[in-house]
Structures are given as C-alpha cells and as structure tokens.
Structure 1
Amino acid sequence: MTVSANQLKTEITYSIYPISDGKPMAESDSARDYLIYGVEALNIYFQDRDDVYVSGNLFIYYKKGVPSAVIAPDVFVVFGVEKKKRLSYKVWQEAGKVPNFVLEITSAATQENDETEKPLKYAALGVQEYFQYDPTGDYLTPQLKGSRLVEGKYQVISPNDLPDGVLSIHSEQLSLDLRLIDGELRFYDPRTGKKLLSYQETEQARQQAEQARRDAIPRLLELGLSVEQIAAALSLGVEEVRHLVL
C-alpha cells in the first residue's frame, strides 16, 4: 500500500505530539460530569463568537519540538483563535495564544499537582485565570477557588457570599460568576442572573417551556381568548393550537 506524503506527515506529527495518553478522561463520575458541564455550558455561552475556543481534557503543547512540554486542563477557554475542532492544541500554530481561563476539577489523584505544579506552569504560560473545584469537598478548602495572574504570579480572587449563602467568584476573563450551590459548581451570567446550562439541561428546559405553553391553552380558552390570540400570546402556530384544542 502506498502512503501519501500527507499521511506520512500526519503519522509522524501524531507520534511526536500524541493526542492521547491512553488514560481515562476522568477518574470519577463527578469529575467527568463537571468537566462535561463546564465545556458544554461555556460552548453554548460563546456559541455566537467565532473567535473563542472552548475545550477540555485536550493536550496543549506549548513548546515546538518539545513534546514533553504539554498540559491538559480539564476545562479551558482561549480568546482570539478560530472556533474549530482540534485533536490537540499547539500554541505555536495559534499565534502564540494560550488559554485565558482554566478550570481544574480537583480529586485525590490530582490535588498535589493542581495545587503546586500546575499553577507554576499556567503562570509561566500567562494563563490569566486559574480556578479549582473539588466536587466532593474533601481536598480543597474552600471547595471552589479562583486566582488571577498579577505581575506573573497568581493572587487569590476574593469570593462573594451572596445573601442566600451561595459562594460566588467572578471571572473577569469570562465575564461570568462561578457559584457553589449546595456543593454544586455552576456558571452564572451576572448580567441576567441566569445559570448556564449543559446541552441536556438546555433541551430539558426547552421541553418544559413547550409543555408549559401547551398546558396554558385550556386556561386561556376558559378566559375567552380566541385560538389566534392564544397562538400569538404563546408564540405558537395557529394550526398547532387548533390541533391541541381538538
């Protein structure tokens, strides 16, 4: 079988810069779930921005020709690069852009690395914000921590205690709040007060809203509204309302 020059180049590149270390994505259900939530929620939030790349558990190579110079943040966001699928992220191919925001899901296996080695690497690279979250609350105090790069060193971002007792830390890079609600990490848009949802949560919310509109039809009919008025009020098609009425 003849191997093309492009195929050979690709195989050599992958052998030098692997796209996987063969290890599981996360060591526990909770670590995996929050990794997925973070990537999905931020992808949805930035879906209209073509210059924002959101990913997680992806190899980031930061020195050309040095494959050992690699990190793999659980969740990260890069501004000023093309939104596209990547097998790995090579800084020298991305105009030198490094993540602006990194979130690590801390566990027993990652605690020491998350607390010591990774902050040094991220600071040296110029990652502007470094957040850590411990789903079980066993390894970090407090359970959610955030740091911002100031003159080459990370300084702790002071958390806010909301009136309802919720711990909230603001990310200047994302213009979002990271909040700890009954031990659960969630992203919030402080401008709207709305929680960022995952793909599954978004679909569930859509279905619930659709059902709520349908459930409102009988009550609106009892109030004397016409089918046309109900359709306009509920943002439904006239024929759809007629079908539901029948």
Structure 2
Amino acid sequence: MVSQPKIATQHEIIYPDSDGKPMAENTIQFRWIMTIYHNLAWLFALQADVFVAGDLLWYPVEGNNKIRQAPDVMVVFGVEKGDRGSYQQWKEKAIAPQVVFEILSPGNRPGELTRKLLFYEHYGVEEYYIYDPENNDLSGCIRSGDHLAMIEEMQNWVSPRLQVRFELSEETLTLYNPQGQPFSSPLEIEQQLQQERSRAEQERSRAEQVTAELEEERRKTKRLEMLLREAGIDEQERSRAEQVTAELEEERRKTKRLEMLLREAGIDGDRL
C-alpha cells in the first residue's frame, strides 16, 4: 500500500524550519557564533535540562507563524536537550529562552536591532547580549520587571544565568567560563583535544613499558627462586647466609681497625 503525502489543511499552520536567511554574513560573524555556541554547549553538556542552539527559529505564539526570531545563540534552562527543526515554545513547557546572543555584521540595521530588542523584551528573554566584532563593541540588557534594561557596565560583567564573565580589551572580547578559562574557538578546542590525545597516548605507552619491565623483573625473580630451590637453598637459608657473610665482614673490619690502632700506639700486634 502506497501512503499518500500529508497535505496541510486550510486550518493547519506550518512552522517553517528556515527563514531563508544565512546564519552569518561573513566569516568573522560565523566564527563568533560558532565559538559562543560550542563553548556554551560544552559548558552545559552534562545538564540534561539545558538546551543550547544556534540560528534556530523560535516561535513563541502557537497559531502564528509570523511571530518568530532566530537568535544567533540562545540558551534555554528547563527543557531537554535534543534536535529540533524549530523552537515552538508551547511544546517546550511554555519556557522562553532565558539568554540570547546576537553577533552584529555590517548588514545589521538600527531598525532591525530595535525590533529584536522589543521581541526579546516582550517574549520573556532575561539576558540579551550584543557584540559587534568589527567595532569591538559590547552591550547587554537584563530583565527588570517587564522590561530589558541596559547593563551600564559590561566590563567584567558576569551573566547571572550562565555565570560567564565578559572581558573587553582594546582588541577583542573574551568570555570566561565559571572555572575562569577563556572561551576557545572550535579549531583551538580541536587542537587542544589532539594535544591531550597525544599526551594520553604517550602516558599509555609509558605505562605499558613500565608494566613490561615489572613483568620482566617478576620473571627473573621467579627464575632465581626456582634455581635456588633446585640447588637445595631456600629463601631463608639464602638470607641467613647473606647475614652471616655480612657479620664476618664486619668482624674483619673491626680486627683491621684494632691492629691499626695498636701499631699507632707502638704495640706489635704479634706480641699480644
């Protein structure tokens, strides 16, 4: 039986997974989006109820597919991880993304930024961060009641939700995770992982070498014990023989020392 493709009825609303716009307009914007996304994804990798997404369409209102926005990066606390074609809020416990990031490009217009701010303010975003890498300009907003209020000082600002710190130098923006480590680009992370894999391989090889050396020593010890048993010498007898030899050697040293002292005193040891 051949199943017929499902055709949307007049009353069924489709929520597209794409708005037809590119994720980024240039390589700088793309690199920043990917850096923030990957570092936040790694930061919350072990928390099953924190969802991190990049360039994902967010529909806050059921029944209206015209009300939507695609933050460059968004973080949602309280919903499960997993793949989604879009973020349809009514299917996600009605939880709005709490933190969003926008990375500006030359194509951004003031009117567009204003519309985004009003959208995020109206639909419940708690923290909104905007970075312009071309001009190295950072700004942020935090929710105060029904409004998103500008953060007066972004230098060393720590996100209440993310516990990520923002540091703006004359050249660039650096974000630090809660452990104080700076965000790294995906390429830098891959290089670090390769270095760690190489170091781990060296440690494994060294451990195998030490294990082999210990095993060889054990084989030598067992071989020696076997030879001693074949010669009729057990371990206690061998230890006792070594002890007696050591005692005799000590007595010889004492005798030689006494003879030397007697000669120094002008006494012929043969006359004693």
Question: Shared fold (TM-score greater than 0.5)?
Answer: yes
Query: 2-side partners of 1:110 and 1:101: how far apart?
Result: 20
1:180 corresponds to 2:155: no
8 Å Cα contact 2:36/2:183 also seen in 1? no
Query: 2-side partners of 1:13 and 1:239: how far apart?
Result: 68
1:125 corresponds to 2:123: yes
Change (3 A) 1:120 1:31: same
Letter in structure 2 aligned against 1:159: E
Please state how far the C-alpha of 1:23 moved relative to its aligned partner: 2.4
Q: TM-score, normalised by structure 1?
A: 0.75
SS in structure 1 at match of 2:157: strand
Q: Which has the higher strand share?
A: 1
- C-alpha RMSD of matched pairs (Å): 3.0
Change (3 A) 1:26 1:14: farther
8 Å Cα contact 2:43/2:177 also seen in 1? no
8 Å Cα contact 1:106/1:114 also seen in 2? no
Letter in structure 2 aligned against 1:3: S
Q: Alignment length, in residue pairs?
A: 212
Tell me the residue number matched to 1:148. 142
Deviations 1:147-182 (A, max 9, x none): 10101112222336xxxxxx4322111111123345
Please state how far the C-alpha of 1:199 moved relative to its aligned partner: 3.9
Counterparts of residues 17-32 of structure 1 (less than 5 Å): 17-32=15-30
1:239 corresponds to 2:208: yes
1:169 corresponds to 2:157: yes
Query: 2-side partners of 1:202 and 1:34: how far apart?
Result: 14
Higher relative contact order (CA closer than 8 Å, sequence separation 6+):
1
Structure 2 spans left out of the alignment, 5+ residues: 213-272
8 Å Cα contact 1:39/1:56 also seen in 2? yes
Counterparts of residues 194-233 of structure 1 (less than 5 Å): 194-209=181-196
SS in structure 1 at match of 2:31: helix
Q: Which has the higher helix share?
A: 2
SS in structure 1 at match of 2:64: coil
8 Å Cα contact 1:104/1:114 also seen in 2? no
Tell me the residue number matched to 1:80. 78
Counterparts of residues 34-113 of structure 1 (less than 5 Å): 34-113=32-111
8 Å Cα contact 2:129/2:140 also seen in 1? yes
Letter in structure 1 aligned against 2:43: Y
Tell me the residue number matched to 1:223. none
Q: TM-score, normalised by structure 2?
A: 0.68
SS in structure 1 at match of 2:156: strand
Structure 1 spans left out of the alignment, 5+ residues: 161-166, 218-230
8 Å Cα contact 1:135/1:183 also seen in 2? no
Please state how far the C-alpha of 1:196 moved relative to its aligned partner: 2.8
SS in structure 1 at match of 2:81: coil
Query: 2-side partners of 1:61 and 1:103: how far apart?
Result: 17
Change (3 A) 1:213 1:94: closer
Rg larger for: 2
